[in-house]
Structure 1
Amino acid sequence: KKKSFKFCYDKNDYAVICETSMTIQEALHTNASFQEISARNQQKVKNLSNEMIIKRRTPLAATVTPDFPVCLIDENETLDIKFKTVDRVQKSTPKNTPPPPALMAERGNFVSFYISRTGGDNIQYILQNSRLTETSYICVYALKRENVEAALRRDGRFKEKVFQKGILKEESSKTLINLSDPVDVNDEFSEMKFQIIINPNKIKGQMSTQKDKNLNDSDTSQATNFTQASTNAEEKKIETLLKENESRKYTEIKEIPETQEILNLLREQHRDLVKTLKERENLKNDGEVKRFFRVEYDKSVQSFLEVNRVKKLIKRSGAICLIRVDDFINGTGFLLFKRFVLTNEHVVKEYDCDTLKLEHSLRAVFGYEDVGSPVNEISVKENCVALLKGKDDMGNYLDFALLELSRDVQLPELLKYWRNITSPIRGGVCIIGHPGGGVKQMDPCFIIPKEDIPQAAETHYTNNPKDHVIHVITKWCLAEDRELRESQIMYNSCFLHGSSGSPVFDDFCNLTGVHTGGYDYEEVSGESRSVMEYGLPLFPILVQIFIQCSQRGRSDVVQHFECQQNLKYVLQVANKQLQEDIRPPNDRFDLSASGSESVTLCVYTGAWSYSAPGEV
């Protein structure tokens, strides 16, 4: 069985195809480029070694060991590789050999979990060489049915004192897990986050239960030489903590007056809700229900909360602008490169199909972040550089327009932050734009995997039982647009009208798409509601821009694309189409053409809106 993934070294991506039974290191060594990279990084100085650091591009960006199973990484996942020169040290916990290939090939044989690189009080330094871990967490794998200690010893990065005095504390629930416990208790270990702390019940000097007699660690001798004063202080601190926990445990609880009836109703509803949740999510017991809510909560609070990510997004948001059509605000755009702004085709409205000359006056307004604050308003040249609303030659549905400003601006260029040829199918995204023509706003949200779209729509209908006719129509529209959805990144966002053309950033603050629309409707009360929203990936847009600019003689754009390291594959695909003399289709895909005789859903500046045929 084969697995494909990529590794990134020195800002270059390399593809790897290997057997799923391999470790990451074994798989990397099947790649000729990695073999050369590894050879260049061999350290020949005595007492020094060049160690390889492998970092996953997951939300926690955790580091893994070279013997991490390939079957545990995602298809087409990218691993960041670097080498660091460190002192050659004798490891205190010799690494065990990886499991046999027959076990390594099946993902179901393993669980993976995360451990904070920093331990708790009095055991902060838990890693043998913290310089080899540049992220907040490390990712550890374990065979099901083995205990925690066996997994940590195989990992090989932990100091011996972890096994003498440590215990795992789960970060969300604060549950303590002994190193002798198996990792598959209720199958809850997978993807959990832990911190190693001092075991409050560990007897001083007690050794680990793991039967490994061949350890040679300086920490062991240090542990036996602790002074009595420091030991007493530590024990006193633990005793204090235990007393605090005990006092919190028995805090007096007072009943809110006259709430018994409400309490009974909630208890009755709780049973039905848990039953429905178990059926819908195929959960077998209460432990799985708790884990489900914990995972959903963890996902909702971790996305884009890291300060460095927020700083990156704020800096890059300087490229985002309002798009004025005549005197009306019609959407959002962003500076792609130099003086070229990208937005949606339906934002620019009317234009000549042959010359791409705009029939309305357009202006880009940068820096609108507060009412009354000074802004930078720049007129747009009268001819579009490239645009398409319809299906391209690769079968992707596009809705984009590349505009040219009348003068240069000194602002972030978002094209340099585009990385991924394939769009993310899971995880978080962040949209920054001007919904409703208001001040610049940011909306972090989660991608709806394509296989979960019907479920997400059904959940919306269940939670919003009013306006059944509208729900039936939107449900039908979602079913009819199955082919269109293949080109979309679906998510739940609060951005509706006026946000078309907003950039969509991925978990790593890289530009990944353009926010384009959504399935929305108007309630009887007049309030706008939305089932879900979508963006279009940037890769096919960039290919189409290069093709059109090559055909229209825009050498300035063509030359800029040719100079960009991250656009090599874009040029390869575009040049292949140009060589085959494939022209963009003349027939435009009209998103409102599939409407029924009485009611349809159609695109309006950033969302779908409810209207009768002929009024679009």
Structure 2
Amino acid sequence: MRMKEKTNCTDQKLIIQLGKKGIVPTHFPCTCIMNDECLTIHCKTQEVEEARDQHDEILQRDKYSVFYISKDGGQNAKSKKLFRSNAVKEFSYLCVYAKKGTTVEEALQKDGRFNDLKDFKLSEEEDSKQHKCTQEVDNLDEKKFKICLYRQTNHANQKANSEQLGQQNQTSTSEKPKHKFNTNSMLNQAQPSGNSVRRVITETGDTKKMYELFPHLQEWIESDSFPETLELKKENFRKIKQSFSQTERLMKLLKLGESVCLVKIDAFKAIVQGTGFVLYDNFVLTNAHLFEVCMGLQKDKWPDHVKINVVFTFEKGEGESIKKEFKANMWGGVIPLDYAILELDVESQSSNQTTETEETKVPPGLLCKFGPSPKDGEACIIGFPGGNEKEIDPTCIITKENIKEAVGKNLEEYKDYIFTLYSVSQEIEKSSKDCVTYNTFMYYGASGSPVFDGFGRVFGLHTGGFFFGFVKPKESVIELALPLLAIFADFVGQLKKSGNNKQLERIQAEAKGNPYLEQELNRQLRD
């Protein structure tokens, strides 16, 4: 280890970073650290961890459960102070360990970095499955969670009702029953009348006989897992309802995704690939920067030196797909707004077919689906990253006020290079003023992809990301989309300026019923 300078720092002020996984407490067992893992020690001016006596025996890795707590609070905990020091929020996750058999609450108490939390639960980041603080840590190993709190009023009422019910049960069990019923008479009373056994029990109060008949029922109801099971049933029902809407949305996106295509450009022996989508009729929208290699070429020279092909992929099911390929020509575009419009050569495609078939038809356009850029919420990108198969990437929009935090999170390993981080953040904040930002795995080959919101409207043209080779070679720091309504407004202005009334009429027909497009049309045609 190389030390820049000698510093006096107590254990309580230390933050130990375990590779990219998160930060660990100072008492983290060495058996839980993999070979060649890097530990980075940071010294803070304030205490981040409570001092504790270290007399625990160090066990083998399989005797521990190691899990990760997000710096961001979950439900009802977003604004709560969960940690002793805010210094830990410079990192994404706090790594927690505990011996198997320990409860979640005990694990966080022994950790020393958390505030005194009561009546909380952990929600898995992957599937939102919830774990009460009284549960043991055995099944939490290598999972990521957010701390969630109960809503104070509801939880207080539940506890009060539970205590009141417990008192009532104690009173009823201490009293002698006024009537005696045997098991047979209780069942006989239930069956002929069509009543449930539960109703008979409620009316008679004779639960003891029911437990004699079903001993496992008593064991289950009196166990700690009974309320958790009821909670899970409610949660599963909510998830089932949610999954129906998610499935419906996915099917809708898949259908809209049929209009997304792979754009292949062959110019001066250079092959460039990107993504585009049908705007309307035989016109495809994509990014202008895909054609940088031939920007200086005169338009009448393009047919001889630039070959453009567009490929649509359709899923047939059972892993099979069909492809439609069309030749295309550059029709228009604007470099400052980074958009280009291609016209498909449908006639040459049809001439190779004896009759017009599904293989010669162009998928429907997405112009009528245009909508405004959301400030936050869900987003979904459909494109051809790397020029390979069509991919769908659901993501979340990064709000303007959270861009700096997102950049810092993505460049956490470079946090010591403060001037580099500051310059990168400033550049991104300035350049993304009119864009929508997010994180996605779609880099090369995905430029020109449509970006959809949670309602299935297409609002953005995925244009790439901010690449800073000296920071993250070949990897974007944050990605962005250009707002489609701005591109649409410019496109209408270009048509009006050139006097292309035929295409203006087609656009007016496509825009009918879409208030966002109609508003832009009226503004452009009125000016």
Normalising by structure 1, we get a TM-score of 0.44
Specify the alignment match of 1:414 in structure 2.
Answer: 366
Secondary structure at 1:411 match in 2? coil
Percent identical pairs in the alignment equals: 30
Kindly state the Cα deviation for residue 416 of structure 1 after the two structures are TM-superposed. Answer: 2.5
Specify the alignment match of 1:430 in structure 2.
Answer: 380
Specify the alignment match of 1:534 in structure 2.
Answer: 480
Say if 2:414 is the partner of 1:465.
yes
Kindly state the Cα deviation for residue 510 of structure 1 after the two structures are TM-superposed. Answer: 1.6
Kindly state the Cα deviation for residue 412 of structure 1 after the two structures are TM-superposed. Answer: 3.2
Asked if the contact 2:414/2:421 (under 8 Å) is kept, the reply is no
Specify the alignment match of 2:219 in structure 1.
Answer: 243
Q: Residue deviations 1:478-529, cap 9 Å, x none?
A: 41343431211111101111100001011122211111111234589x9633
2 CA distance for matches of 1:319 and 1:406? 16
1:338 is aligned, of 243, 259, 281, to 281
Kindly state the Cα deviation for residue 417 of structure 1 after the two structures are TM-superposed. Answer: 2.2
Secondary structure at 1:424 match in 2? coil
Q: Residue deviations 1:275-305, cap 9 Å, x none?
A: xxxxxxxxxxxxxxxxxxxxxxx99xx8998
Specify the alignment match of 2:343 in structure 1.
Answer: 404
Q: Residue deviations 1:359-415, cap 9 Å, x none?
A: 62211111177999542110112x423x1232xxxxxxx221111111173413222
Secondary structure at 1:447 match in 2? strand
Specify the alignment match of 2:98 in structure 1.
Answer: none
Asked if the contact 2:258/2:314 (under 8 Å) is kept, the reply is no
Specify the alignment match of 1:308 in structure 2.
Answer: 248
2 CA distance for matches of 1:545 and 1:529? 32
1 CA distance for matches of 2:195 and 2:243? 44
Higher helix share: 2
Report matched runs for 1:369-380 at 5 Å. 374-380=322-328
2 CA distance for matches of 1:522 and 1:201? 62
Kindly state the Cα deviation for residue 553 of structure 1 after the two structures are TM-superposed. Answer: 3.4
2:505 is aligned, of 559, 584, 588, to 559
Asked if the contact 1:547/1:575 (under 8 Å) is kept, the reply is no
- Over 3 Å counting, the alpha-carbon distance change for 1:481 and 1:527 in structure 2 is closer
Asked if the contact 1:339/1:409 (under 8 Å) is kept, the reply is no
- Over 3 Å counting, the alpha-carbon distance change for 1:558 and 1:357 in structure 2 is farther
Asked if the contact 1:367/1:374 (under 8 Å) is kept, the reply is yes
Report matched runs for 1:90-489 at 5 Å. 173=130, 188-189=150-151, 227=195, 229-231=197-199, 243-244=219-220, 306-326=246-266, 328-349=271-292, 350-351=294-295, 358=302, 360-367=306-313, 374-381=322-329, 383-385=330-332, 387-390=333-336, 398-407=337-346, 409-418=361-370, 420-421=371-372, 423-462=373-412, 464-465=413-414, 473=420, 475-489=422-436
2 CA distance for matches of 1:316 and 1:547? 27
**What is the Cα-based RMSD across aligned positions, in Å?**
4.6
Specify the alignment match of 2:232 in structure 1.
Answer: none
1 CA distance for matches of 2:514 and 2:443? 31
- Over 3 Å counting, the alpha-carbon distance change for 1:310 and 1:472 in structure 2 is farther
2 CA distance for matches of 1:565 and 1:473? 49
Q: Structure 2: which amino acid aligns with 1:441?
A: E
Residue segments in structure 1 that go unaligned for 5+ positions in a row: 1-110, 113-169, 177-185, 207-224, 251-297, 391-397, 581-616
Kindly state the Cα deviation for residue 544 of structure 1 after the two structures are TM-superposed. Answer: 1.0
Asked if the contact 1:322/1:434 (under 8 Å) is kept, the reply is yes
Q: Residue deviations 1:253-285, cap 9 Å, x none?
A: xxxxxxxxxxxxxxxxxxxxxxxxxxxxxxxxx
Specify the alignment match of 2:459 in structure 1.
Answer: 512
- Over 3 Å counting, the alpha-carbon distance change for 1:231 and 1:549 in structure 2 is same
2 CA distance for matches of 1:406 and 1:239? 76
Report matched runs for 1:5-84 at 5 Å. none
Asked if the contact 1:304/1:507 (under 8 Å) is kept, the reply is no
2:438 is aligned, of 461, 485, 491, to 491
2 CA distance for matches of 1:490 and 1:304? 28
Kindly state the Cα deviation for residue 540 of structure 1 after the two structures are TM-superposed. Answer: 0.7
Q: Structure 1: which amino acid aligns with 2:277?
A: F
1 CA distance for matches of 2:163 and 2:489? 62
Q: Residue deviations 1:30-69, cap 9 Å, x none?
A: xxxxxxxxxxxxxxxxxxxxxxxxxxxxxxxxxxxxxxxx
Secondary structure at 2:335 match in 1? strand
- State the aligned residue count: 316
Secondary structure at 1:380 match in 2? strand
Kindly state the Cα deviation for residue 566 of structure 1 after the two structures are TM-superposed. Answer: 4.1
Specify the alignment match of 1:146 in structure 2.
Answer: none
2 CA distance for matches of 1:457 and 1:233? 62
2 CA distance for matches of 1:239 and 1:509? 53
Specify the alignment match of 1:34 in structure 2.
Answer: none
Q: Structure 1: which amino acid aligns with 2:506?
A: H
Asked if the contact 2:489/2:524 (under 8 Å) is kept, the reply is no
Residue segments in structure 2 that go unaligned for 5+ positions in a row: 1-74, 77-122, 134-147, 169-192, 227-237, 347-359
- Over 3 Å counting, the alpha-carbon distance change for 1:351 and 1:188 in structure 2 is same
